[in-house]
A and B are shown apart, each in its own frame.
Chain A
Amino acid sequence: MSVLVVAAVLLATAVAAAVAAGRRAAVPLVYGACLVACALGAAVGASELVRAAAGGAPTVFSLPVGLPWSGAHFRIDALGAFFLLVVNLGGAIASLYAFGYGRHEQAPGRVLPFYAAFLAGMNLVVIADDAFTFLLAWESMSLASWALVVAHHRREGNLHAGYVYLVMASFGTLALLLAFGLLAGADGGYAFGVIRGHAQTPTLAALVLFLALLGAGSKAGVVPLHAWLPLAHPAAPSHVSALMSGVMTKVAVYAFVRITFDLLGGVSWWQGMLVLAVGGTTAVLGVLYALMQHDLKRLLAYHTVENIGIIFIGLGLALAFGANGMGLAAALALTAALFHVLNHSLFKSLLFFGAGAVLNATGQRDMERQGGLIHRMPLTATAFLVGCVAISALPPLNGFASEWLTFQAILQSPDLPQWGLKLTVPAVGGLLALSAALAAACFVKAFGIVFLGRPRSVAASNARETDRFSLTAMFALAALCLLLGLLPTIVVDALAPVSEALVGARLPVQAPSGGNGPWLSLVPIAEGRSSYNGLLLFAFIAASAGLAALLVHRFASRRLRRGAAWDCGFPDSDPRTQYTAGSFAQPIRRVFGTLVFRAREHVTMPAPGDRRPARLHVELRDVAWETFYAPVALAVGHAAQRLNRFQFLTIRRYLTLVFVSLVALLSVLALWL
């Protein structure tokens, strides 16, 4: 029940914000209310998860709103509780960040009401227990976030982003609507409890899975339905970008998990393979697109696409293992995917907060005009670095822990009976490894170009450290990234009731009292197979690095002299001689770009004596857009052109048109009956 209070507080805040947005005090009041509500929601999620682990039944309640004959049903089971925690943790920290960031907002009236409504919508999605409530909450989440995307509607490109987002969101909801329609069956039982009771025919189940992949996948940003995401997420204010990338895409993952694992219950192995293939493609294409970006926020948005791919790899594996009755392997894959959901919500929010701080400090998102910010924004740089290491899946931070679990799940594949899966899974493992390595390259580029080197513009050389609220939010997230990386066992144990409910198995107890394996190690199957201890690894690295530094300074030399950069004897004072984002990515573009982007480089080299500058123009083509979107857009434009003739008719012709269509419809009806 207390979650409804949270949602009600958020909705009330939204209404109040709409009324009082003009006042100065509105900004801290609204974000304060959101912070308190989300903290409460996170506490509810955590306590429900603990209750589920102890074997408690899900909390169920209903309200007499919505459809008159059914009302609105809500239910918090282990899965819902976990996502409630993810949503509200992200929401609470984003609200904290917004205390500082929101002060720079030019038009708070365009942000505040929708911000609270957006949070309320996401909360309602994960606790809804009937299709009507679910879709209502889903749509309000979409609409509120759309309003936030177009909050700065005068900035170039934002209206276009909002338009594409609106179209894709409608498409996704349509797919989900059809999926629920199929699930409800002929007698139209829309409560999730009733749907679970239905047995679906294999064809219907395949269709539902496909529709869920379209509907939830388009919101999550699965390739090729991702086109709106890198446009819309960066367009919103940064704390909203963090929520959209870090949290809303997770709500979409929730929708997919809810439909396929819970409501559908059992799919066949080739559907798992489909999800797996989609996940692998999404992961690699997402990170390759990200590598080509020069806009920091857009780069981060493309990385969301990559991480969604990693999550879907885990989900696809869980489906494939589950279809073959391999409970433990399915539990491992599902746990890995859900762990990555939590991890990504943490480090993606952190990185967007950092990008927002940089945007505020320098007034620009273009990476080519940043540089050297580690000197002027040392704290932001430190927190951002933690996020970079975490998202690049490097030990000992949390991103590695969940990817390591995914790799362990992939290594369970030889026991699969189907040849298709046997061959697909290692290939997807290769794709996962490729995306992890490319992500590391991409974040060397992101951090190196923005925070290291010499400033590339006046704005970058005059940047100031960001405010305390933002820093607190960023460091809270960085600490969580470190904590979950060092003690992944906590999350794995917390996810046990979720995997038990969805795939009927759980991983061995990881807590020390469980007595499984050495102290605080992550042991997914058995100690002889694989184990990982982030805490010990971190302690060892810290100890040996610290010891080395200490000994060197004590016994060898501690003298230090500052001088000009060496640069092989030819230092150039112009910061423009540094590597840029484009030149950093050039080798990788040459290796992968010709295949994926059909990249072409055009060099205009003027003749000797000509004083025009030489130019390098790189042409990258978005294959997904050209294959899937451009033809549709063309067809719609074409049809609209044709129908345009009907717009300016005389009243007589309109009446004739109405009359003719009426007669036509009636005659069709007459023939039909």
Chain B
Amino acid sequence: MILGTLGDLAVQLVQMLLVLGAAPLFTGFVRKVRARLQRRKGPPLVQPYRDLYRLLRKEAVLAENASWLFRATPYLVFGTIWVAASLVPTFATGLVFSWTADLIAIVALLGSARFFLALAGMDVGTSFGGIGSSREAMIASLAEPAMLLIVFPVALIAGSTQLATVSEFMASPEVGLRVTLGFALVALVMVAIAENARIPVDNPATHLELTMVHEAMVLEYSGRHLAMIELAAAVKLLLYASLVASVFFPWGLATADGGIAAFAAGGAAWALKMAAAGLLLAVFETVIAKMRVFRVPEFLGAALMLGLLGTLLLFLTRTL
């Protein structure tokens, strides 16, 4: 009994460390593929780890009027996103703490992280921080409802908002091919792009550009604080990729009572799925151009409408 509990805890711990350890690699992979697509050699895959290491060892430079909130935010944001990421199934479902928060709570947790990051952007009182926070708030005010309208049809089909239950249901043959799920998938990808500040909504690789959002918000950070924020951003990207994989492509996911072999198979399947996701993201980012900030509401509005349409279609198909 106790041994079993310890084993469950160990698997949960492995999941937590896995998302943390793999997140910079995933970011590095996307960068590498993008560089190759642009016929550049690109930085090595481990470059994000090196960057983090370098940042962590540097001294942090704070603006004179930065408050305690500014210093606490990187850790808070990192902790919140890490906890959220460890609740999304990667190699196995139904881990010992998976009932702590359902999909709605995970979305809201990411909202908490963003709330503090946006506050930190306004703390020093510079115009760049303000512009970042204000635009982030605008994007979030559309992305969050879109996300919840995606959660609705998925939860209605699976009869649960619990991610473990959802992915187990989606892996079962009774799901079938549904238009609603297609809509939800497209909408979720759009929201994920906006939430992670990727092209075409935002550009993670720019500075000194008036169109930037996320980078403007964290402009005043340096050293270890910046490292925590970069790491949190990498974990968040991996979280969304895992979320898409576990809800829409739950093949190969192990269950909580599976043995080591099942976990290893689940891990291999997850690695493959993440590689595919990274590849697709890089291709998408290469072929599309960054859009104006005030085009973003249209982009996210489309995701919102897809979610709502998916829910309505679900009702229609249910009665037919």
Q: Chain A residues in contact with chain B, CB under 8 A?
A: 371-372, 374-375, 378, 385, 389, 392-395, 400, 404, 407-408, 410-411, 414, 422-423, 426-427, 429-430, 433-434, 436-438, 440-441, 443-445, 447-449, 452-454, 517-518, 521, 527-533, 536-537, 540-546, 548-549, 552, 556-557, 559-568, 571-572, 575, 577-579, 583-588, 590-591
Contact = CB atoms under 8 A, between A and B. Distances in A.
A8 B118 CA distance: 49
25 contacts: A393-B108, A395-B108, A433-B144, A434-B141, A437-B144, A441-B140, A445-B137, A448-B133, A452-B125, A528-B160, A529-B159, A529-B162, A531-B102, A537-B83, A540-B97, A557-B57, A559-B223, A563-B62, A567-B127, A568-B208, A579-B130, A583-B134, A587-B138, A588-B137, A591-B138
A591 B293 CA distance: 11
Given A414-B318, A529-B162, A444 B122 contact: yes
B58 A568 contact: no
User: How big is the B interface, by class?
Assistant: 35 or more
A64 to B, nearest CB: 53
A536 B67 contact: no
A530 B224 contact: no
Nearest to A394: B112
A448 B105 CA distance: 25
Nearest to B141: A437
B189 to A, nearest CB: 19
A372 B125 contact: yes
A171 B82 CA distance: 53
A392 B115 contact: yes
Contacts of B160: 528-530
Interface in B8-26: none
Nearest to A423: B312
A460 to B, nearest CB: 12
A394 B219 CA distance: 25
B115 A430 contact: no
B185 interface: no
Contact of B99 (A372, A518, A557): A518
Contact of A552 (B159, B224, B311): B224
A559 B225 CA distance: 11
B162 A579 contact: no
Contact of A452 (B123, B127, B228): B123
Interface stretch (B40-48, B145-153, B263-271): B145-153
Contacts of B140: 437, 440-441
B141 A438 contact: yes
Interface in B116-141: 118-119, 121-131, 133-135, 137-138, 140-141
Contact of B142 (A426, A427, A591): A591
A562 B134 contact: no
Contacts of B172: none
Given A552-B56, A565-B126, A584-B137, A542 B294 contact: no
Contacts of A549: 75
B262 interface: no
Contact of A572 (B127, B144, B297, B312): B127
A591 B128 CA distance: 21
Interface of B: 56-69, 75-76, 78-80, 82-83, 97, 99-102, 104-105, 108-109, 111-112, 114-115, 118-119, 121-131, 133-135, 137-138, 140-145, 147-149, 152, 155-156, 159-162, 165, 207-208, 219-220, 222-224, 227-228, 293-294, 297, 304, 307-308, 311-312, 314-315, 318
B308 A430 contact: yes
Tell me the dominant secondary structure on chain A's binding face.
helix
Instruction: Identify the 4 closest CB pairs spanning chains A and B, nearest first.
Output: A579-B130, A545-B79, A453-B125, A448-B122
A584 B130 contact: yes
A11 B130 CA distance: 50
Nearest to B140: A437
B156 A414 contact: yes
Given A407-B148, A528-B162, A532-B102, A557 B223 contact: yes
Nearest to A440: B115
Contacts of A531: 99-100, 102, 162
A572 B130 CA distance: 13
A447 B115 CA distance: 11
B197 to A, nearest CB: 15
A394 B64 CA distance: 30
B119 A544 contact: no
Contacts of B304: 430
A528 B142 CA distance: 29
Given A375-B65, A440-B111, 9 more contacts: A404-B105, A437-B142, A438-B141, A528-B160, A533-B99, A548-B79, A552-B75, A579-B127, A588-B138
B208 A437 contact: no
Given A529-B162, A587-B293, A575 B79 contact: no
A560 to B, nearest CB: 5
Nearest to A559: B59
Nearest to A579: B130
Given A395-B109, A453-B122, A529 B161 contact: yes
A322 to B, nearest CB: 21
A197 to B, nearest CB: 40
A345 to B, nearest CB: 22
Nearest to B52: A556
A444 B144 CA distance: 15
A453 B149 CA distance: 35
Given A394-B108, A557-B223, A564 B64 contact: yes
A548 B73 CA distance: 12
B97 A541 contact: no
A374 B122 CA distance: 12
A521 B99 contact: yes
Contacts of A395: 101, 105, 108-109, 112
A448 B119 contact: yes
Contacts of A452: 67, 69, 119, 122-123, 125
A549 to B, nearest CB: 4
Given A414-B156, A537-B83, A566-B220, A528 B141 contact: no
Nearest to A442: B137
A518 B8 CA distance: 15
Nearest to B231: A548
Contacts of B308: 426-427, 430
Contacts of A590: 294
Given A541-B80, A560-B60, A579 B156 contact: no
A537 B156 contact: no
Contacts of A517: 99
Nearest to B53: A556
B99 A564 contact: no
Contacts of B141: 434, 437-438, 440-441, 588, 591
A426 B311 contact: yes
Contacts of B207: 568
A388 B69 CA distance: 14
A575 B130 CA distance: 12
A529 B103 CA distance: 11
